[in-house]
C-alpha cells in the first residue's frame, strides 16, 4: 500500500491492458491525481495520489478505470485503421505532386 494515507491502489491485468494505454490514461487524469505504475508479475499496480484533499478513493479508481478503457480502445482503433489512414495519406500526397511518382518529367 502507498505511504500517503490518501493514496489508494488499483491493479490492471497486463494481458488485457497495455502499458501505453495506462501511461496515456495517467496523463489524461493528471489534473485529478498523480499515479505511480509498477509491474508485478503479469499485472500493473497503480498507486493513485489525489492532487486535492477530499477526493474520494472510489471516484479516483472509477476515473482511472474509465480512462484506461478509453485509451485502450483508442489504441486498438488506431491499429485497426492504420492501413486505411496510410492509404488515404498516400492518395492525398500522390495527387499534390509532392510525392515522387517515379516518372520522368514531361
Distance CA 19, CA 17 (A): 7
Is a pLDDT exceeding 60 seen at residue 99?
A: no
Q: What is the CATH number of the domain that holds 87?
A: 3.30.70.60
Q: What phi, psi does 101 have (nearest 5°)?
A: -80, -15
Domain count, the chain: 1
Residues 6+ apart with CB under 8 A from 58: none
Q: Is residue 101 part of a domain?
A: no
pTM of the model: 0.78
In whole angstroms, what is the distance from residue 103 CA to residue 63 CA? Answer: 54
Q: Which domain holds residue 14?
A: 8-94
51 in any annotated domain: yes
Report the pLDDT averaged over residues 60-89.
Answer: 95
What is the tens place of the pLDDT at every residue in 12-48? 999 999 999 999 999 999 999 999 999 999 999 999 9
Cα distance between residue 86 and residue 54, in whole Å: 47
| Domain contains 104 | no
Amino acid at each position: 500500500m502507498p505511504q500517503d494515507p490518501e493514496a489508494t491502489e488499483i491493479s490492471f491485468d497486463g494481458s488485457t491492458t497495455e502499458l501505453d494505454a495506462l501511461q496515456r490514461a495517467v496523463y489524461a487524469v493528471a489534473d485529478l491525481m498523480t499515479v505511480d505504475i509498477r509491474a508485478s508479475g503479469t499485472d500493473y499496480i497503480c498507486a493513485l495520489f489525489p492532487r486535492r484533499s477530499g477526493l474520494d478513493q472510489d471516484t479516483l479508481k472509477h476515473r482511472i478505470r474509465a480512462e484506461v478503457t478509453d485509451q485502450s480502445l483508442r489504441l486498438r482503433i488506431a491499429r485497426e485503421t492504420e492501413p486505411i489512414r496510410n492509404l488515404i495519406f498516400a492518395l492525398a500526397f500522390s495527387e499534390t505532386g509532392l510525392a515522387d511518382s517515379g516518372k520522368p518529367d514531361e
